[in-house]
Amino acid sequence: MLIEIKDSPFEPYQRLLEYQSDANFAGKYGATAVFVGSMREFNQGDDVTAMSLEHYPGMTEKYLQKISEEADTKWEILDSLIVHRVGEMLPNDPIVLVAVWSAHRAEAFDASRYLMEELKSRAPFWKKESLVEKSRWVEKNT
Amino acid sequence: MSNTVITIKFFASLREDLGQGEAEISEADAKTVLDAWNGATNNMAMPENTLMAVNMDYVEGSHPVKAGDEVAFFPPVTGG
């Protein structure tokens, strides 16, 4: 179980490969569910040129750890990984990687969905979008 | 000295609107999280939907505060 906050761009598929190569569950997993969230170039009908992602150092990590432990308790999973960007980013940049490994697919699907939904509603991150002529805080998650 | 102080943090749009990211108030001035808000913002009206945390756990406004606590206020979260 690992959580990481990155203040510079990361490549989710490379990170996934590295993590899985170092993991101690080789041969035990039959399922890996992977979610990657990326920055769009549009939101609410406007062109978005850049985005700034703020977090609450300490509390963000605490809640990502907490939801990872909850998923581990609720489902029979082998491991989970959450990587989330903060700082300045551009359209197409990866924002978040969630991966869950389990023996069978149902647990990996369900636990990864849980991690993403709980991350979005409980982990303290805030997005501020730059539009062509102004910037605005994103007010609610969709 | 420092053990009589409550640290207040503001994030995102609240930090910008208030023009400060961090404040300190005396323990004597706040019994609850809402008291801490009032003390740190000069009784400004709290925006609807403001989330509150004490020592990095979500709480309600009536939650007690004491010296050494870190109290945080922020808008709904929008990560992921």
Q: What confidence tens digit (pLDDT) does each residue in A31-67 have?
A: 999 999 999 999 999 999 999 999 999 999 999 999 9
pLDDT in tens, B38-52: 999 999 999 999 999
Closest-CA distance of chain A to residue B13, Å: 7
CATH of the domain at A32: 3.90.1170.40
Beta carbons of B13 and A62 less than 8 Å apart:
no
| pTM, full prediction | 0.96
A4 close to B (CB below 8 A): no
- Taking 70 as the threshold, does the pLDDT of residue B2 lie above it? no
CATH of the domain at B58: 3.10.20.30
Mutate: best of A6, A55, A125, A126, partner B, most B CBs <10 A = A126
Beta carbons of A59 and B76 less than 8 Å apart:
no
Q: For residues B15 and B68, give the distance between their C-alpha atoms in angstroms, rounded to a whole number.
A: 21
For B12, which of A62, A123, A137 is closest by C-beta distance?
A137
Mean pLDDT across B9-33: 97
Q: Is residue B79 part of a domain?
A: no
Mutate: best of A66, A138, A142, partner B, most B CBs <10 A = A138
Q: In which domain, by residue range, is B56 found?
A: 2-74
Say what the pLDDT of residue A91 is: 98
Q: Is residue A104 part of a domain?
A: yes
Say what the pLDDT of residue A56 is: 98
Q: Which stretches of chain A score pLDDT less than 50?
A: none
Q: Is residue A142 part of a domain?
A: no
Q: In which domain, by residue range, is A47 found?
A: 2-137
Q: Is residue B40 part of a domain?
A: yes
Residue of A nearest to B56 (CA): A59
Q: For residues A31 and A26, give the distance between their C-alpha atoms in angstroms, rounded to a whole number.
A: 11
Q: Would you place residue B3 in the very low, low, confident or very high pLDDT band (cuts 50, 70, 90)? A: confident
Q: Is residue B80 part of a domain?
A: no
Q: Is residue A109 part of a domain?
A: yes
Q: Is residue A116 part of a domain?
A: yes
- Which phi and psi angles does A32 have, rounded to 5°? -130, 120
Say what the pLDDT of residue B32 is: 98
- Which phi and psi angles does A131 have, rounded to 5°? -100, -175
For A125, which of B9, B51, B77 is closest by C-beta distance?
B77
Q: How many domains does chain A have?
A: 1
Q: How many domains does chain B have?
A: 1
Q: Would you place residue B64 in the very low, low, confident or very high pLDDT band (cuts 50, 70, 90)? A: very high
- Chain A residues near residue B12 by CB distance under 8 angstroms: 54, 126, 128, 137
Helix or strand holding residue A6 (H, E): strand A2-6
ipTM over 0.90: yes
- Taking 60 as the threshold, does the pLDDT of residue B1 lie above it? no
Q: What is the DSSP string of A29-70?
A: -SEEEEEEEE--SEETTEE--EEEEEE-TTHHHHHHHHHHHH
Residue of A nearest to B51 (CA): A124
